[in-house]
Amino acid sequence: MAFFRRKPKTRSELVAEADRARVRGKLDAAVAGYRRALESDPADASVHVKLAPVLARLGDPEGAARSFRAAAQKHLDAGFTDRAVAVNATAAGVLPLDAGFRLELARLEILRGRRRDAAHALADGGRALLRARREQAGVSLLRKALEIEPSHLEAVLALAPVMARGGDRAGALALLRPLESALGGRARRRVRWAVFRVAPSPRTLWHWITG
């Protein structure tokens, strides 16, 4: 009687099987499958970007961050900056409270000559951290955004109230006043509302009401 040893699954088969498990909500099985696929190539970026969000959903943000960073580094080592940007952008969405991904995304955008995109990445990250009551980290990202683009509206509107609450009302107004004179329409009304909140008075209220 002949006995036949079952042929080992290929990497593609393992990934496809893990994908199916993920779609069906079998997250532990998906993680196991992706990790088996990584045994032959521990730095495989395509597998890491699949594994990372599943780990995050399972409550393992550290593991998710490691996988995202491994994928981004693999792309950078191969000279694919655009792909590394995409990985960091995805990671920032999955792990919004990990400031490291915002900083790396901004660094890569500057390398690509996209300073405005870099400022956006930092401002979005700073606002997310403020919403999570991580004020120190949020303020740090917002200030870095303004170093790149001093007139970034969302960064200014997020940072000014924090500065005012901390006792630096003059600094907050110094951020807001240039935008109040430079902008128009809805953006100016938003700035004037922020000015009123920082320095409430009949005059600043009237400016907001009249637009």
SS3 164: helix
Q: Span 11-95: which CATH code?
A: 1.25.40.10
| 142-201 per-position pLDDT tens digit | 999 999 999 999 999 999 999 999 999 999 999 999 998 888 899 999 999 999 999 999
- Distance from CA of residue 23 to its chain's centroid? 24
With cut-offs at 50, 70 and 90, classify the pLDDT of residue 5.
low
CA distance 56 to 58: 5
Q: Is residue 129 pLDDT above 60, yes or no?
A: yes
Q: Which of 60-95 are b and which e, b meaning 16 or more Cβ less than 10 Å from the residue's Cβ?
A: eeebbbebbbbbbebbbeeeeeebbbbbbbbbbebb
Q: For residue 206, what pLDDT is reported? A: 85
Q: For residue 2, what pLDDT is reported? A: 47
Amino acid letter at 191?
V
Q: Is residue 141 pLDDT above 70, yes or no?
A: yes
Extents of the domains making up the chain:
11-95, 151-211
Query: With pLDDT > 70 as the criterion, what percentage of the chain qualifies?
Result: 97
